Structure 1
């Protein structure tokens, strides 16, 4: 490993050479490097004074994508605590806040000793605290009342960086997957230290716009940017007009969006007048992207698009570079494995490695993977086997080493005697000029036969019918893969970077199928 220096200490050391430079921008308000470092050290001193240390669990309950979210996480990290974000399990929408019951389940499961809060979450934190018989400490960056410890009181020099502590786990990220049950993805100090050392060694300064919640991988992106001497621009969520304005105003060089967000940015009326000359990397991830829409985006943004294939359990696995986007045949792939990742396709029955062209489960080996799922040894054992992380995705490698995804193992639809991969049907639907987004899943009918359902968001200004889309899929793929039921909606529910929540859509379709009425689910 490049080194095992504490990851937060690495970040704070990177801030010290030029304390007057702007390292963080929130709502167009800048935070200078010296200010951020001082706030983190003061808060860490406050936590230590309260006896918080290695192995204690600190639940962060703040408005997403504010400086407080980063400061409280870094302060907890400096004293060796485990940080658990309990704001949301949605990796793309900061405004999708968990309900009280869901937050209670997380803090109870993790046995959180401390709630790190802000003014907007004080009332809810007190409500949660009062549900526990054990004592729970409330802390904040400011005076929120006599029952909340103010972590901004002690001077920064009350915490010596040489005293930074670390336990085994650094961060637990709760994410909602295909099962619908939130999973706590555990990240060790060892891995976080290693990643930050690698990023610091690159010393590649960037100005990065973040619209996804700091409760998930966007937080790690912030770490990477700050340790390399860059600047983080925080937005509360994705708004195409605000994003274009931010790129121009702050000279943003990199941002990470979902594929549907790239489409929205491309289609925005201000895109042609905005100054995007600073942008070097327009990265997108999440749901499968439509090759035709990507080709259109390349024409608008130039050779800056970069597709990332990854997951919450190990981060990036594959990358489709800007140069790759100039080859139309590659736009249907998710790229090739990145450094430190060894990728293989495994047979679903006997786990043997499959040759190029044969579909199987995508498995990876990387030193930068999670340690497991919080308090779930069975799921951990299913996911981490023989030194490999089993993704649950189905795909195949081609002769050049590019990965082609077909969908999730759990999502495969068996109909008319064949296996239908939802991702393939979604890709065909997304290629239709009248479709903005699509989600495909299987629903069993009264005879227990699976039928293909599609939920579609039409593009603005386009009129498209269910029959149009069925004919399009039948021609593009095959009649057996055409959806039997097509529903139109204004938007899709999502889990992460544009990933459609098929579990929710399937449940709604099953409920509607039990109601004998001529409603929107019966658009034949």
Structure 2
């Protein structure tokens, strides 16, 4: 599907830009088709063959997309590795998780890694003619592959929030199904968008075929920063913009935010973890746009639930909406694996054609995740009486305080509304009496006038039970983030363990 999409869009959209580099130079759809053909032939002459797993150790760039497309045209399997990971973590993904047959890497990303496989080195382009220049065989193309929906195309690594990342496998048919579900999703078909995640993420690996199928122009951003995104959205009159909640919050706090023209923006789309209600409210007002919250995971192909743009405020602010067409969602008891009644917390499970084929080279983990035809996400949540899904965190994120289980997300949703809070994350701290108590890690709206613990608890008790509220306060100017730009709860929890040990 991916290879065929490149060929079809090359003819259908021809001179329209498919990719725009950060420096402003462009690659058209017809050029992308030709480039991927020429690079595919060059890679084949370097030994890359059908069915091989090729680790792609290349920063998010025009070159990354070209190499991903070229490998698909050869029938090779792309295992993209984020440039934000340190060398030891990259090595684990390449050697142990993917078991790659060879790698394509820039010198910078190969540095510090001892790989016992063939490494094809590439240099990043600085103009259209230099894209994968040393690999291209001019004016040649590979023999088109026969249709095969079961052909693995991509191995996409999970974020590793519960341990060593796993490789979710996506076939040609699954990518085609993702495209069917994702087309017309409000991103502005055929319009320009920015790449807000690393290209190794499911948001690109799984969805760029769908985007290119409708002529979307992808503005490439390697290392995400608010200035680059705001500038691109304003300059190129983008109809939609997206990211995870911390990215939206950083854009809203950009000192020059009000100098940009966002009159073209009709929709703000967020994914990843649920967005704080105050961020949703502020973004809707300042961008002058509708908002939709998406929830999914890598294993689900990045497709799951969403909130309607005209949903009631309760749904928009406190839920992740309803299943998208073609997707089924159930909340199940993690022990009995039976569906639980509405209003009961359990494990969120998906059934859909966009779910991964399995974890690469890991049948045990695959059998655990895909039990009974359902994808078990490891996320905990409950279905409310309107049919909306409400998340309370990852399995294991709830902590025991005395005789109660406390889910940090519940307190975060409330405390985010406090006028002195710009950002909040609640994590447990070991306690000799209660077992664990909550700590509110807060970014103050005004560092000169931060909230006190008493103020936060008094505010919170108006909305949720006192035992769910944090009993300690830690002020910070920024949260540690994972390579996927999510708040790194593990780092914050370790910090609180160290604090408890000092006491």
Structures share fold, TM-score greater than 0.5:
yes
Equivalent runs, 1:160-175 vs 2, <5 Å: 160-161=143-144, 168-175=151-158
Task: Please tell me whether the aligned partners of residues 160 and 166 of structure 2 are also in contact (alpha carbons under 8 angstroms).
Answer: yes
State which of 275, 296, 299 in structure 1 corresponds to 2:282: 296
In the alignment, which residue of structure 2 is the partner of 1:195? 178
In the alignment, which residue of structure 2 is the partner of 1:23? 18
In the alignment, which residue of structure 1 is the partner of 2:444? 458
In the alignment, which residue of structure 2 is the partner of 1:118? 106
1:61 aligns with 2:57: yes
d(CA) in 1 for partners of 2:217 and 2:3? 16
Which is worse superposed, 159-168 or 491-500?
159-168
1:380 aligns with 2:366: yes
In the alignment, which residue of structure 1 is the partner of 2:232? 246
SS at structure 1 position matched to 2:211: helix
1:179 aligns with 2:162: yes
Equivalent runs, 1:302-321 vs 2, <5 Å: 302-314=288-300, 315-321=302-308
1:12 aligns with 2:7: yes
1:431 aligns with 2:417: yes
d(CA) in 2 for partners of 1:251 and 1:356? 42
Over residues 375-414 of structure 1, what are the superposed CA-to-partner deviations in whole Å (9 max), with x where a residue is unaligned? 3333222221101111222222223211111222211111
SS at structure 2 position matched to 1:283: strand
Equivalent runs, 1:49-88 vs 2, <5 Å: 49-63=45-59, 65-88=60-83
State which of 223, 233, 237 in structure 1 corresponds to 2:223: 237
The 1:248/1:308 distance shift into structure 2, 3 A limit, reads: same
Unpaired segments of 5 or more residues in structure 1? 1-5, 89-96, 144-148, 517-524
Over residues 170-210 of structure 1, what are the superposed CA-to-partner deviations in whole Å (9 max), with x where a residue is unaligned? 11122323324222222222211333466679993221111
1:257 aligns with 2:253: no
In the alignment, which residue of structure 2 is the partner of 1:91? none
Over residues 194-246 of structure 1, what are the superposed CA-to-partner deviations in whole Å (9 max), with x where a residue is unaligned? 33466679993221111211110231333322121121111223333332221
State which of 475, 480, 484 in structure 2 corresponds to 1:488: 475
Over residues 503-522 of structure 1, what are the superposed CA-to-partner deviations in whole Å (9 max), with x where a residue is unaligned? 22222221332234xxxxxx
d(CA) in 2 for partners of 1:194 and 1:74? 18
Over residues 401-456 of structure 1, what are the superposed CA-to-partner deviations in whole Å (9 max), with x where a residue is unaligned? 11111222211111121111111011122121222222222233346812222322
Task: Please tell me whether the aligned partners of residues 342 and 382 of structure 2 are also in contact (alpha carbons under 8 angstroms).
Answer: yes
The 1:511/1:273 distance shift into structure 2, 3 A limit, reads: closer
SS at structure 2 position matched to 1:355: coil
1:153 aligns with 2:136: yes
In the alignment, which residue of structure 2 is the partner of 1:212? 197
d(CA) in 2 for partners of 1:408 and 1:158? 46
Task: Please tell me whether the aligned partners of residues 170 and 187 of structure 1 are also in contact (alpha carbons under 8 angstroms).
Answer: yes
Over residues 25-47 of structure 1, what are the superposed CA-to-partner deviations in whole Å (9 max), with x where a residue is unaligned? 11122222222222111111112
Task: Please tell me whether the aligned partners of residues 46 and 154 of structure 1 are also in contact (alpha carbons under 8 angstroms).
Answer: yes
d(CA) in 2 for partners of 1:62 and 1:76? 14
Which is worse superposed, 366-375 or 455-464?
455-464
In the alignment, which residue of structure 1 is the partner of 2:92? 105
Task: Please tell me whether the aligned partners of residues 295 and 328 of structure 1 are also in contact (alpha carbons under 8 angstroms).
Answer: no
d(CA) in 1 for partners of 2:179 and 2:462? 49
Task: Please tell me whether the aligned partners of residues 320 and 389 of structure 2 are also in contact (alpha carbons under 8 angstroms).
Answer: yes
In the alignment, which residue of structure 1 is the partner of 2:129? none
1:138 aligns with 2:120: yes
Equivalent runs, 1:412-423 vs 2, <5 Å: 412-423=398-409
SS at structure 1 position matched to 2:43: helix
Which is worse superposed, 417-426 or 433-442?
433-442
Equivalent runs, 1:327-366 vs 2, <5 Å: 327-328=313-314, 330-366=316-352
Alpha-carbon shift at residue 313 of structure 1 (Å): 0.9
Unpaired segments of 5 or more residues in structure 2? 126-131
Task: Please tell me whether the aligned partners of residues 415 and 459 of structure 2 are also in contact (alpha carbons under 8 angstroms).
Answer: yes
State which of 355, 370, 376 in structure 1 corresponds to 2:356: 370
Cα RMSD over matched residues? 2.7
Which is worse superposed, 230-239 or 164-173?
164-173
SS at structure 1 position matched to 2:251: helix
Which is worse superposed, 482-491 or 443-452?
443-452
1:280 aligns with 2:266: yes
The 1:166/1:319 distance shift into structure 2, 3 A limit, reads: closer
The 1:430/1:269 distance shift into structure 2, 3 A limit, reads: same
SS at structure 2 position matched to 1:476: coil
Task: Please tell me whether the aligned partners of residues 79 and 165 of structure 1 are also in contact (alpha carbons under 8 angstroms).
Answer: no
SS at structure 1 position matched to 2:299: coil
Task: Please tell me whether the aligned partners of residues 287 and 498 of structure 1 are also in contact (alpha carbons under 8 angstroms).
Answer: no
Alpha-carbon shift at residue 78 of structure 1 (Å): 1.1
Which is worse superposed, 175-184 or 246-255?
175-184
State which of 489, 498, 507 in structure 1 corresponds to 2:494: 507
Task: Please tell me whether the aligned partners of residues 56 and 81 of structure 1 are also in contact (alpha carbons under 8 angstroms).
Answer: yes
SS at structure 2 position matched to 1:161: coil
Equivalent runs, 1:384-399 vs 2, <5 Å: 384-399=370-385
Alpha-carbon shift at residue 320 of structure 1 (Å): 0.9
Over residues 282-304 of structure 1, what are the superposed CA-to-partner deviations in whole Å (9 max), with x where a residue is unaligned? 10122332223322322222342
Alpha-carbon shift at residue 167 of structure 1 (Å): 6.8
1:44 aligns with 2:29: no
SS at structure 2 position matched to 1:293: helix
Instruction: Give the number of aligned pairs.
Output: 490
Task: Please tell me whether the aligned partners of residues 451 and 483 of structure 1 are also in contact (alpha carbons under 8 angstroms).
Answer: yes
Task: Please tell me whether the aligned partners of residues 320 and 390 of structure 2 are also in contact (alpha carbons under 8 angstroms).
Answer: yes
Task: Please tell me whether the aligned partners of residues 149 and 173 of structure 2 are also in contact (alpha carbons under 8 angstroms).
Answer: no
d(CA) in 2 for partners of 1:368 and 1:453? 38
d(CA) in 2 for partners of 1:409 and 1:200? 31
Task: Please tell me whether the aligned partners of residues 286 and 496 of structure 1 are also in contact (alpha carbons under 8 angstroms).
Answer: no
1:323 aligns with 2:310: yes
SS at structure 2 position matched to 1:255: strand
